[in-house]
Structure 1
Amino acid sequence: MSEKNASRRSLANIAGIVAIATLISKVFGLVREQVIAAAFGVGPVVNAYAYAYIIPGFLLILLGGINGPFHSALVSVLSKRDKSEAAPLVETITTLVSGILLLVTVFLVIFAPFLIDLVAPGLTATPGGEEVRLIAIRQLRIMSPMAMLAGLIGIGFGTLNASDQYWLPGISPLFSSLAVIAGLGGLGLFLGRDLLDPEDAQLGGMVLAGGTLLGAILQWLVQLYAQARSGLGKFRLRFQFSRPGVKEVLKVMGPATLSSGMLHINVYTDLFFASYINNAAAAMKYANLIALTPLGIISNMILVPMLPVFSRLAAPENWVELKERIRQGLLLCALTMLPLTAILVTLSVPVVRFIYQRYAFDQAALEVVAPVLVAYGLGMFFYLGRDVLVRVFYALGDGETPFRISIFNIFLNGILDFLLINLFQTPGLILSTIGVNITSMGVMLWVLNRRLNGLPLLHWGKILLTLIGGTVLASVGSWGSNQLWEQWLGYNNLFLEIGQIIFPSAVAFLLFFMVANRLQLPELTILVNRIRAKFKR
């Protein structure tokens, strides 16, 4: 809302709130995946769920996620307007979005078999693939209402953030995790036996999908309650499509949705190729969750408070400060993501073992998932750095440039998938996405350099190369520490498993930040001060 009606929290304050809320949600998300892994391993239920969740999950991330196009569009528009204009504007956008997404929901129910065959054509060619296909069709039909819920959740995120409410939106995803955990726990108690029993696969798949849907409903209801209490709109029909601000929201929302959608089509492309490899979808799902837990926390901590700042600096007279904020965003990404890259690349086996290996998730599953986690670790900075640059374009009112770049990236991703899957199998699909994100960052920086009358790209590049060198050094230290720990102490109990992760990780962080400290970056000072402030509290 307008600054005259609301006192703005500091960036550090907002980042802290978002980080804590997101941390809680991500921890529950990790527990949810542990429960799923323990119940089903990398078997047909999880593989089916990976394909059935493609479209509902795609819409939930695309439309309903923090930093998604709905969130970004509403924040960028509402942050410039008086609070009294919010409720009718939000209700009008909600009416329009709900009508469109209700049709999408009906489409998903009717055409579920066709859609599963479209996204996973290789299933019937793999052992047990027909069973996976049937489970996936049922799961997709159960989760189809998430199409409409995704839009409503995204609107809620944007509306609450624009009014300086960050805690509830950040923590609301935990309701989804709780619903899945409760559903699978109840099923296990009801059956009183191993959920891996083949005759329970269909039932287990339905419970997993039903818990996911229930979680999305709870997440939306919690946001709607907070939205209504704050006078920011209720769930009511309002057809004032000519109202001031509606066209402005749609102008950003439309191209931004298409642009982000193009990025997520790359996920479909990856799973299209994955359907020809046994258990590839499940491996990608488990490894992705490990990588996204820290990435999601840090992403929200950096991007959520910076988007309104980018928006307020969009005018030409503020471009000097905008450039500084762009640098700040990119270097904060590098300082937080690159040491994590060193850790995930060198400690993939201990991390996967500690998080997942129990009950149905055995040594064979570990050997499938760990190499995929290495690939995800390599791309963390490029994933987050791309998101920072996309938000700059949104703040400038330009959703078309990211959209055009995303169109090109679809073809690039398909080519890289085809080439790299033959060389590296499942990890090759992740490496292709990294190539796409690197290309996106390069093109967007080139466009911003021209549009903002020059960026100090050479200087930024030297800093990033030095930090990448620090990552290599940190990786060597982490790998060596891990080898010593395993040879001298092993991992025969829980405490040794934890130590095998913590000790090499500490070595990696120490070596990386020794290199980073020599650069005397103000961004490092900002990061350290934020961490100190949190510990003092």
Structure 2
Amino acid sequence: MSRLLRAGAIMAAGTMVSRLTGFLRTAVLAAAIGTTTLGDAYNVAYTIPFILFDLLIGGALSSVVVPMIVRHQKNDPDGGVAYEQRLLTLATSALLVVTVAAVWLAGPLIELYTSEMSPRGLEVTTTLAQLILPQIAFFGLGAIAGAILNTRDRFAAPMWAPVLNNVVVIGVGIAYLTLTAGHSEIEEVTSGELALLGLGTTGGIVAQSIVLVVALRRSGFRFRPRFGVRDAGLGEMARLGSWGFAYVAITQLGFLVTTNLATGAGSRAIDEGVIYGAGYTPYNYAYQLFQLPYGIIAVSVITATLPKMSRFVHDGQFAEARDAFSSGVRLVCAAIVPASLLLMVLGPSVTVLVFGHGANDVADAIYIGNVLQVYALAMVPFSLFQMLLRVFYSVGDTRTPAMFAAMNVAINAGLSLVAFYTLPPGFIVMGLGLAFTITYVVAAGVAWVVAGRRIGGLGGREATAGLSRMFVAALPATLVALTVLWAVDRLFGITPLSSAVVLAAGGGLGGVIYLVIAHRMRIPEVNSIVGMVAGRVGR
């Protein structure tokens, strides 16, 4: 527990700074380009490289690549160095080829995700995509470097490197905002302004990748190009990775449906005179905010847990693997539970503070906050589901996660289509968030049962009891935050300044109350976190 807590703390610190600077990045870009059509164009173009990267290698990193690197480190006479060099060479070379093809096919790719966008919107989105798609090659280089670092228990650089990326793009956003004075519309945006947005965004990923490569070298890794495929384990990787690829492909199919419905909702809202942005950009921004607690807390613990579980499983120590999983779940939920409840109350306050500036007004920001409140319902089941997937990956099972992906996409797509065709335009995106929540409630429950059978139980009763105690400790904190929100809104209305007061007083006081009550209730994970922080402060 203590080693996992220390590793998680190192990553959480980096991830917190990364996510907070990411918030600032998102806020600056939102102020510069807004949440309507130009915002949709940028965010769709920005998403395509992530989709292609996930399809080609991103999904395989956690399901196949990390366990295989660990195995070669244990079994190869050179500690897996040659395998790591070959993997880095082949992955980067392949992604360079894919990058060239993606830039060439940018137009058709964009049309897949924007079925109802105007001709000018398609033109701008395609131009931005051509400038942003070169990120794919740098994603691959950085991701493989990060995976190798993680297997060597070097967690800091992969979590801190995105900070530089965010700083670069923040600078780009400020330059764009200064250039356009916050009045940039999609019909008026120039090729030079698009070049600033697109090339500046790509420059951020380039900087991030350089940091990871330098960190990898400092860890003792020396790169030498190895193009031979005989010892690359491609056969085994293809066998195991085929299901990982299927998992990503299925989830991206679901994302394709969601993106089309969200952009369609935005077009429909404009046609029907809805004054606030109600399309893909609010959906995307709310999702990014939803990912903050998950990214700071759950991703850090998951990243530290997977190599550890893989080693235990490799050595046949299933009891230790179960303990590692159980410790990870408790650590995650100790922070995710109060974060979920507080976001359900304070979502609009967060978004008004972050997005209520520049090209956006308070109504735009409140709408994003309403979507975020719906997403907050999914935070616990989503985090649990992601932890449960690592149980299957640690035993070399990539087929079961792919089956879960198919189930999730079927549920989410079905519910999203119902929302799109039954709700008014202004409520469609919130309906998409609710579909997401229901999907992961079902997925987490089913995955828990199946994963428990795979490794001899997951301690369901103990987990349920622990979660119940965490919710009990978090409820008074939530009520305090709700009271502060009501009082400030009644006295001062909803403005960025009043939202900052609500977050500082309601969120801050609520967090302290949760920690005090959880400590009094002797919830061990909270006590461990408090003890570690108190020890560091006292030094």
Counterpart amino acid of residue 263 in structure 1: T
Identify unmatched segments of 5+ residues in structure 2: 267-276
Q: Secondary structure at the match of 1:173?
A: helix
Tell me by how many angstroms 1:462 deviates: 3.8
- Asked if 1 retains the 8 angstrom alpha-carbon contact of 2:69 and 2:80, the reply is no
Counterpart amino acid of residue 115 in structure 1: L
1:500 to 499, 502, 505: 502
Provide the C-alpha distance between the structure 2 equivalents of 1:61 and 1:297, rounded to a whole number of angstroms. Answer: 20
Counterpart amino acid of residue 508 in structure 1: G
- Asked if 2 retains the 8 angstrom alpha-carbon contact of 1:65 and 1:71, the reply is no
Tell me by how many angstroms 1:170 deviates: 1.3
1:405 paired residue number: 404
1:112 paired residue number: 106
Aligned pairs for 1:150-189 (under 5 A) are 150-189=139-178
Q: Secondary structure at the match of 2:35?
A: coil
Tell me by how many angstroms 1:75 deviates: 5.4
Tell me by how many angstroms 1:89 deviates: 0.9
**Are residues 36 and 452 of structure 1, via their aligned partners in 2, closer, same or farther at CA, if it must alter by over 3 Å?**
same
Q: Give the root-mean-square deviation of aligned CA atoms.
A: 3.0
Paired-residue identity, %:
24
**Are residues 43 and 425 of structure 1, via their aligned partners in 2, closer, same or farther at CA, if it must alter by over 3 Å?**
closer
1:97 paired residue number: 91
- Asked if 2 retains the 8 angstrom alpha-carbon contact of 1:64 and 1:152, the reply is no
Tell me by how many angstroms 1:336 deviates: 0.9
Tell me by how many angstroms 1:507 deviates: 4.6
Provide the C-alpha distance between the structure 2 equivalents of 1:53 and 1:73, rounded to a whole number of angstroms. Answer: 30
Tell me by how many angstroms 1:253 deviates: 4.4
- Asked if 1 retains the 8 angstrom alpha-carbon contact of 2:41 and 2:124, the reply is yes
**Are residues 102 and 254 of structure 1, via their aligned partners in 2, closer, same or farther at CA, if it must alter by over 3 Å?**
farther
1:263 correspondence with 2:251? yes
1:531 to 516, 529, 533: 533
Residues 369-428 of structure 1: per-residue CA shift (max 9 Å, x gap): 111111221111222211111112111111111112112222222101112343441011
- Asked if 2 retains the 8 angstrom alpha-carbon contact of 1:420 and 1:428, the reply is yes
Residues 424-447 of structure 1: per-residue CA shift (max 9 Å, x gap): 410111222222222322222111
1:21 correspondence with 2:9? no
2:269 paired residue number: none
1:332 paired residue number: 331
1:209 correspondence with 2:198? yes
1:372 correspondence with 2:361? no
Counterpart amino acid of residue 17 in structure 1: I
Identify unmatched segments of 5+ residues in structure 1: 1-7, 124-128
Q: Secondary structure at the match of 1:84?
A: coil
- Asked if 1 retains the 8 angstrom alpha-carbon contact of 2:64 and 2:393, the reply is no
456-465 or 111-120: which moved more?
456-465
Aligned pairs for 1:311-460 (under 5 A) are 311-314=310-313, 318-421=317-420, 422-423=422-423, 424-460=427-463
* TM-score normalised according to structure 2 size: 0.87
Tell me by how many angstroms 1:186 deviates: 3.4
Q: Secondary structure at the match of 1:121?
A: coil
**Are residues 22 and 67 of structure 1, via their aligned partners in 2, closer, same or farther at CA, if it must alter by over 3 Å?**
farther
Provide the C-alpha distance between the structure 2 equivalents of 1:535 and 1:261, rounded to a whole number of angstroms. Answer: 46
2:35 to 36, 42, 45: 42
194-203 or 277-286: which moved more?
194-203
Counterpart amino acid of residue 213 in structure 2: L
Aligned pairs for 1:505-520 (under 5 A) are 505-509=507-511, 512=514, 516=518, 520=522
221-230 or 397-406: which moved more?
221-230
2:71 paired residue number: 77
**Are residues 67 and 526 of structure 1, via their aligned partners in 2, closer, same or farther at CA, if it must alter by over 3 Å?**
farther
2:128 paired residue number: 139
Q: Secondary structure at the match of 2:87?
A: helix
34-43 or 523-532: which moved more?
523-532
- Asked if 1 retains the 8 angstrom alpha-carbon contact of 2:16 and 2:296, the reply is yes
Provide the C-alpha distance between the structure 1 equivalents of 2:9 and 2:517, rounded to a whole number of angstroms. Answer: 26
Provide the C-alpha distance between the structure 2 equivalents of 1:83 and 1:23, rounded to a whole number of angstroms. Answer: 38
Q: Secondary structure at the match of 1:277?
A: helix
Provide the C-alpha distance between the structure 1 equivalents of 2:116 and 2:329, rounded to a whole number of angstroms. Answer: 39
2:264 paired residue number: 276
**Are residues 252 and 503 of structure 1, via their aligned partners in 2, closer, same or farther at CA, if it must alter by over 3 Å?**
farther
Provide the C-alpha distance between the structure 2 equivalents of 1:308 and 1:302, rounded to a whole number of angstroms. Answer: 11
Residues 71-111 of structure 1: per-residue CA shift (max 9 Å, x gap): 64455435535693433212211233234333432332232
- Asked if 1 retains the 8 angstrom alpha-carbon contact of 2:388 and 2:448, the reply is yes
Aligned length: 522
**Are residues 327 and 99 of structure 1, via their aligned partners in 2, closer, same or farther at CA, if it must alter by over 3 Å?**
same
